[in-house]
A and B are shown apart, each in its own frame.
Chain A
Amino acid sequence: MFHLILFLFFGVICVAGAVNLLVQSHPINSALSLIAVMASLAAEYLLLGAEFVAAVQVIVYAGAIMVLFVITIMLLNAGKEERSKGSRVAILIGVPGVVIGGVLVAWTLLHRSNAEAVPIGALKGDPSDIARLLFHDFLLPFEVTSVLILIAIMGAVVLASRPEAVARGPRKDG
């Protein structure tokens, strides 16, 4: 019961943040509500017994990635977004379609799935078990992602540097 209350509490924060992201017209407000979504998702992970994922969620997502977003928003001095006119046909067909699809999916999940309740804390989500899995069974993907990160960093540096600086080559005095 206590778990259900906590789940609902953080779930409501999650959905409210996601909707606020859609409603806000200034990107910095959207970024802040996305941080709220990620923080409450970390709490949901804790409820599921995944401590490692919760910690990584806060450190990587709410920390590193969102700092990148906020820095970019401030760097580019992004203002309010301009709304453009959408087509009426999209609204006429799309809104009922979304409602019907959502009701179908919710009904299927709630009534037609024979899923048992998740026993909280039954998962052996020990960071040491995850480390054993990560450095033993998934060692090759782990190393490949490190190469991926390296390539992404180099690509970001090349893309974000000024074109004339790339054409001139590395500075001699620096």
Chain B
Amino acid sequence: MAVIANLAIQFVQMLLVLLLAPLLTGFVRKVKAHLLRRQGPPLLQPYRDLLRLMRKEVVLAENASWLFRVIPYLILAATWVAAALVPTFATGLIFSWSADLIAIVALLGSARFFLALAGMDVGTSFGGIGSSREVMIATLAEPAMIMIVFTLALIAGSTQLSTVAGLMLSSGVGLRVSLGLALIALILVALAENARIPVDNPATHLELTMVHEAMVLEYSGRHLAVIELAASLKLLLYMSLIACLFVPWGLAPHGAGPVAQFGGAVAYIAKLAIGGFLLAVFETSIAKMRVFRVPDFLGAALMLGLLGTLLLFVSRSL
């Protein structure tokens, strides 16, 4: 009976992330529009877009291979699994043993690998540009992400998200400058990975600057819908990751009753709303940087991660 209940909670978590993801994207768009004194599309617009794309016909290039058709589902699957592993409203779910930071990084990395392949599959120049830029960003973002994981793992003694969140909830953490550095680095990496404004603009098809949009230019119909859903899921994933690692208050502990879990869900939605609002404010107050400035931006993230690890070694060795 307990197993069934645990499975049910895990299932609720998987459905929750999938259903909330487009809402989060819509919310960020709405807040951004309001900040620019525009009305903006309604909150539920991303769902309608997805439905509309689902009903549309798929147009495939003549020389598209089977890989091109399979990749959207692969990307969605990898991203969804990763997003479902991050503790959102409760820790200690039944699949928590596999909710490892390195596993999540690997899942996202394989999703990106397939997306880059899809960009090059048809052989248009835009897809190639997008893929090469995406891979350039990835070569810088992934080492930074790994350094962040090292910092957290050194503090918590584990790379399991539930354990790390549990440690952050306890008062044994104290005041650590390394954690602050890791938080800033993680935010920088998240902005780059989700193609948000200083690195890429999610709302434009301006050919000189786009990275993510250039890769998915050849997709249409339900393939595009699946890819867009995966992109929203990725944004939700990074936001839940930051919330779970650095502001874990309100997470229901392992084996808590339904009331605590409901409270956790409310806290989670509040955290997402705050995160989305901050993202929108940040995006409207900053300009997009040139593609060749991106290495500096991500180099700063890598540097922060390295510095955090170094500082941790110092305080350990004393």
A and B physically associate: no
Chain A residues within CB distance 8 Å of chain B: none
